[in-house]
Chain A
């Protein structure tokens, strides 16, 4: 069955999530991957959105982190201070799932500005919940489309800390979570080197060449000695994903005047 690069990326990300994990979900690609996992191999995954919806089971994807569908299908809804203080800062989140505009070789994420902070070339939406998800979730996953504008040697602005300048800097500063474990892209999977914490290509998607990945990465990307080829998406996952996206797009185009 034919599939797109984006479908490959979302399905690969969803497969990395385990049943029963407590997952703090960012909007967009992370939300799509987490809900696909819930609709397939991880029916008991606990999805939390920063609006305070806990254990939500939306049948369509939310457009924003506080859509009514998230509240209507949640086990409980708590206040925003509670979600950040008790849940995230309190250490009750296994996986934080993030996206971003820029990411660097040490997994630091920028979602604030391109250019300088005071005189930005492009002003992006900003931090939101991301800095504390990146520091307080036990582990974080990142999902982003692979291109050299986004995958840079050094981000213009550290909105959310990865491994900072690498090695044990993150640990030394006392940041509680272990940091980013996977960057899932439309070309492959990157994982941090255990020593240097520099992200390396550990899995490549079928039909993508190593040169293509290197050309789309803004640093001299190292290739893992044990480079794997990512498993192709199954018919079942593709069908479920497409159904989900179709339902969502119909729902979001209906006016609610």
Chain B
């Protein structure tokens, strides 16, 4: 096995630093929960977390007090309600105050594309008349089309220090394959300075005949094997989304105390020793 493959704990230790801008992406599907848990266990702090839909994994990182800022476009528990740890951090500064940089989905997708394309900003036909644009003039600005004279919203590009994704498969060389809902995974990989990947399975050879996204090995900084590494999110072809857990999270996360109790029992106490 080439040295691109490392235990997850080693990858996080070597490549995630306090104060980094980190994007753990995956649009509902393939959310890198296990990588997020390893960041929590290693206590990396002062993080700026980037993600379109923060989801439970960012609720956990925020609730542990490791996050100073979150860049996002929809911060709820889909179909269930609020992300209580995120909400309490914003409303009351519990456990620590949280700065937010807020976008719409379209704007954030475009910001990743601009980052991936080596551009400083992206343009979109949206935001007109909205208060998000009025409140956030620091990173939502207006530009005039040089051809038609129309006004468009301009969004600062996103270029994370570390992009982290979970995927179904890698081959032994470190090429990665994703299928199903591919969200902004490709964009975050292309936009990030360093790329860490966890995978369900390492295979001799990727099947590149069927549809899917293949990320070539030379764009990947490091890979760790992490079966079920997206649970309670899901990995198409491997396991389903645990909607029942997403519903249970509402109760678990409602108070800082019940949240910490759960984290102690299910995340912090587990030592992670995954070796290929």
A residues adjacent to B (C-beta < 8 A): 27-28, 50-53, 62-68, 70-72, 77, 79-81, 84-85, 88-89, 112, 117-118, 120-132, 135-136, 157-161, 164, 169-170, 173-176, 251-257
Contacts and interface: CB of A to CB of B under 8 A. Distances in A.
A43 to B, nearest CB: 24
Nearest to A257: B242
B129 A89 contact: no
A135 B125 contact: yes
Given A81-B110, A84-B106, A128-B73, A256 B182 contact: no
B104 A85 contact: no
B239 to A, nearest CB: 6
A63 B234 CA distance: 13
A79 B186 contact: yes
B245 interface: yes
Interface stretch (B10-18, B78-86, B218-226): B78-86
Nearest to B88: A123
Given A117-B135, A132-B126, A135-B126, A88 B74 contact: no
B90 A254 contact: no
A27 B74 CA distance: 13
A79 B82 CA distance: 26
* Interface hub of B27, B131, B150 (most chain A Cβ within 10 A): B131
Nearest to A254: B244
Nearest to B74: A128
A256 B242 contact: yes
A85 B109 contact: yes
Given A63-B243, A81-B109, A85-B109, A131 B132 contact: yes
Contact of B132 (A66, A88, A121, A127): A127
Given A68-B241, A256-B244, A257-B242, A130 B104 contact: yes
B124 interface: yes
A157 B151 CA distance: 22
* Interface hub of B180, B181, B240 (most chain A Cβ within 10 A): B181
B89 to A, nearest CB: 9
Interface of B: 27-29, 52-53, 72-76, 78-80, 82-83, 86-87, 90-91, 102-106, 109-110, 112-113, 124-132, 135, 150-151, 180-184, 186-187, 231-232, 234, 236, 239-247
Query: Which 10 residue pairs across A and B have the least CB separation, nearest first?
Result: A66-B28, A125-B76, A64-B78, A128-B74, A161-B129, A63-B79, A256-B242, A84-B106, A132-B106, A127-B104
A interface, over-half SS: loop
Contacts of A112: 102, 131-132
B242 A127 contact: no
Contacts of A255: 242, 244-245
A158 B129 contact: yes
A130 B242 CA distance: 25
Nearest to B182: A79
Contacts of A253: 244, 247
Nearest to A28: B79
A240 to B, nearest CB: 21
B125 A176 contact: yes
A51 B74 contact: no
Contacts of B184: 79-81
B231 A257 contact: yes
Contacts of A84: 105-106, 109-110
Contact of A256 (B28, B82, B181, B239): B239
Given A80-B105, A131-B127, A51 B186 contact: no
Nearest to A67: B241
* Interface hub of B76, B125, B126, B244 (most chain A Cβ within 10 A): B126
Contacts of A160: 130
A129 B186 contact: no
Given A132-B126, A174-B150, A66 B29 contact: yes
